[in-house]
Amino acid sequence: MLYFETSFPVRYYETDQMAVVHHSNYVRYFETARSMMMESWGMPMHKFEKDYSVLIPILEVYCRYRHPARMGDVLTVSCAIEKVPMARLRIDQKVVNQDGELCAEGYVTLGFIDKDSFHPVRCPEALLNIIEKHINDR
Amino acid sequence: MLYFETSFPVRYYETDQMAVVHHSNYVRYFETARSMMMESWGMPMHKFEKDYSVLIPILEVYCRYRHPARMGDVLTVSCAIEKVPMARLRIDQKVVNQDGELCAEGYVTLGFIDKDSFHPVRCPEALLNIIEKHINDR
Amino acid sequence: MLYFETSFPVRYYETDQMAVVHHSNYVRYFETARSMMMESWGMPMHKFEKDYSVLIPILEVYCRYRHPARMGDVLTVSCAIEKVPMARLRIDQKVVNQDGELCAEGYVTLGFIDKDSFHPVRCPEALLNIIEKHINDR
Amino acid sequence: MLYFETSFPVRYYETDQMAVVHHSNYVRYFETARSMMMESWGMPMHKFEKDYSVLIPILEVYCRYRHPARMGDVLTVSCAIEKVPMARLRIDQKVVNQDGELCAEGYVTLGFIDKDSFHPVRCPEALLNIIEKHINDR
């Protein structure tokens, strides 16, 4: 399994009037962790488009809320990939607070489309190789 | 089935650098439609807490992205409830653009917890009655 | 003076843990009103770029917070233009709640830059004419 | 002068369809830096309310945009305080990218109000002492 995690504090504007992190922000935390993961591979999302002429749209997102994150929390957000992608890439994600409490878990499914034709394509070789390498490393 | 819909234009800050509405915002559109639905019942979310001492946390959210919404679009966001809630309330949601294209669809599951004890409770009678009435009306 | 206003309800995700609209959202309300104003002129922002090859970046924004907006409020956000723009366009903006209370007021200054060279240009004739017409109408 | 800075990468959802960070997010960056500063003093904003029964509302914000921040940028956001606060605290803020380019600069003015009466009060002694100490340290 490929595993990556990154940590950052809750930001004040992410809270809502229930004094917890608004549920929509976990979807943004998921994305932030994915961006940092691709960055750590030397393949940041924003360069991916240019270098491979492939866009990586979100096809679906699921999130199960377990425990509210609050201002003052430092969250660790993780990405896990179990299967080498073909047409789609599923990433399992978790948000855990500084006390080890699971705040939320879910997954996103990403697709690959040609930048010009907007037709679905296979996962580019370069990305495939990185994921394959990391899955086997663990 | 209980059905409700509301419409509003895409806002510029909701777009991202792919020139489409960022995927996290659909989760916010879902919520906006639910707020308008409760408002239309004379039972706005923010009064619910005070009047019934019950909080309505989001337990899970799922969203499948079909077609990108863009700046200039006017979106119709709908809520549908098929079953009278007991401990949980599931709401099916859709986002459709002005041309009738389905942009996204998904659901949220809501729970009910006592404001003071934070223990799960049943759906308050008043909300139950409204939902039951609307389900039978159709 | 050119004057435009539009109204919309506060959205739940815009509140923060002080149970008021987070201060950053007023800047977004300002923008939303400007978008609706340009839409009302038949010249939506996103078409402006294509039709005139001119981008309209924000140069500065100022906001003075007077009275907190809350969930349940319906806000009226206004734009006022006093002077025909040359290199810059200043728009004065207000956010007022359903009880007529002034929640916030401020202004934004917009520039005009060529889409390709990124050099500053004058306000395009078409926009100038609309603003001039509306200023004189009142 | 009291000076504090913190750094973090741009997040994808913060970009807009011009492929730059949306202007409203600089106001959020300002806040994030202020939160980190108070955290560094052992006096996080969310505890301040509880410990001193004083709220710190934003009275005004100003931002001048100089150079667009983009996905891939790592931003350093600073806070500077020149004067010990009485009824108000002014904080000057800057956003600089990894190449040392000034992206935005501005200020916020904060007030102090009693949590229960909502009346304006003086800056609490504890905060005053910290600011005074830091101003003199430099």
Q: Over pLDDT 90: what percentage of chain B?
A: 80
Length of chain B, in residues: 138
Closest chain B residue to the Cα of D71, Cα to Cα: B17
At A110 the pLDDT is 96
Contact D65 C55 (CB under 8 A): no
- Dist. CA D15–CA D11, nearest whole Å: 7
Of residues C13, C24, C71, nearest to A22 (C-beta): C13
Confidence of residue C46 (pLDDT cuts 50, 70, 90): confident
- Dist. CA C21–CA D57, nearest whole Å: 12
Packing angle of the helix pair C24-40, D24-40 (nearest 10 deg): 180
Over residues C60-85, the pLDDT tens digits come to 999 999 999 999 999 999 999 999 88
Does residue A67 register a pLDDT over 80? Answer: yes
Q: C82: distance to nearest CA of chain A, Å? A: 33
Domain-wise residue ranges, chain C? 2-137
C68 at A interface, C-beta within 8 A = no
Q: Which residues of A are catalytic?
A: 16
Q: Are D104 and D65 in contact (CB under 8 A)?
A: yes
Q: What is the overall mean pLDDT for chain A?
A: 94
Does residue B119 register a pLDDT over 60? Answer: yes
| CATH of span A2-137 | 3.10.129.10
Of residues B28, B31, B65, nearest to A59 (C-beta): B65
Does residue A138 register a pLDDT over 80? Answer: no
Q: Is A117 exposed, middle or buried (0-12, 13-18, 19+ CB in 10 A)?
A: exposed
Q: Which residues of B are catalytic?
A: 16
Q: D71: distance to nearest CA of chain A, Å? A: 7
Question: Which pLDDT tens digits describe chain D residue by residue (138 residues)?
Answer: 899 999 999 999 999 999 999 999 999 999 999 999 999 999 998 788 788 889 899 999 999 999 999 999 999 999 999 998 889 999 999 999 999 999 999 999 999 999 889 899 999 999 999 999 988 875
At B113 the pLDDT is 92
Closest chain A residue to the Cα of B26, Cα to Cα: A24
**The pair of three-digit structure tokens given for residue B76, joined into one six-digit string:** 């119709």
At D111 the pLDDT is 95
CA D35 to chain centre: 7
Give me the DSSP letters along C36-79.
HHHHHTT--HHHHHHHH-EE--EEEEEEEE-S---TT-EEEEEE
Contact B13 D19 (CB under 8 A): no
At D45 the pLDDT is 82
- Dist. CA C75–CA C99, nearest whole Å: 9
Q: Are B108 and B91 in contact (CB under 8 A)?
A: yes
At B118 the pLDDT is 85
Length of chain C, in residues: 138
Q: Buried b / exposed e across C50-59, counting CB within 10 Å, b at 16+?
A: eebebbbbbb
How many CA atoms lie less than 13 Å away from C1 in the CB half-sphere? Answer: 11
Amino acid, single-letter form, for residue B45? M
Contact C71 A22 (CB under 8 A): no
Supply the ipTM of this predicted assembly.
0.95
Closest chain C residue to the Cα of D32, Cα to Cα: C24
Contact A12 C16 (CB under 8 A): yes
Beta carbons within 10 angstroms of residue C82's beta carbon: 11
Residue D91 with chain C: CB contacts under 8 Å: none
A15 at C interface, C-beta within 8 A = yes
A19 at C interface, C-beta within 8 A = yes
Does residue C57 register a pLDDT over 80? Answer: yes
Residue A61 with chain B: CB contacts under 8 Å: 23, 27, 61-63
At C115 the pLDDT is 87
Of residues D46, D47, D71, nearest to A46 (C-beta): D71
B42 at C interface, C-beta within 8 A = no
Residue C27 with chain A: CB contacts under 8 Å: none
Q: Over pLDDT 70: what percentage of chain A?
A: 99
Packing angle of the helix pair A45-52, A24-40 (nearest 10 deg): 60
* DSSP label at residue A15: B
Tell me the whole-structure pTM to 2 decimals.
Answer: 0.96
Q: Are C81 and C1 in contact (CB under 8 A)?
A: yes
Count contacts between B and C (CB, < 8 Å). 43
Over residues C12-24, the pLDDT tens digits come to 999 999 999 999 9
C137 or A88: which leads in pLDDT: A88
Confidence of residue C138 (pLDDT cuts 50, 70, 90): low
Residue D11 with chain A: CB contacts under 8 Å: 28, 31-32, 35
Q: What is the overall mean pLDDT for chain B?
A: 94
Q: Are C5 and C78 in contact (CB under 8 A)?
A: yes
- Put the strands of the sheet holding B88-96 in their side by side order: A2-9, A74-81, A88-96, A102-111, A58-65, B58-65, B102-111, B88-96, B74-81, B2-9
Does residue A15 register a pLDDT over 60? Answer: yes
Beta carbons within 10 angstroms of residue C95's beta carbon: 26
At B49 the pLDDT is 79
Contact C27 D27 (CB under 8 A): yes
Q: Over pLDDT 90: what percentage of chain A?
A: 80
A102 at B interface, C-beta within 8 A = no
Q: C129: distance to nearest CA of chain B, Å? A: 23
Closest CA to B14 of D6, D60, D22: D22
Does residue B138 register a pLDDT over 80? Answer: no
Closest chain A residue to the Cα of B62, Cα to Cα: A62
Count contacts between C and D (CB, < 8 Å). 52
Confidence of residue A16 (pLDDT cuts 50, 70, 90): very high
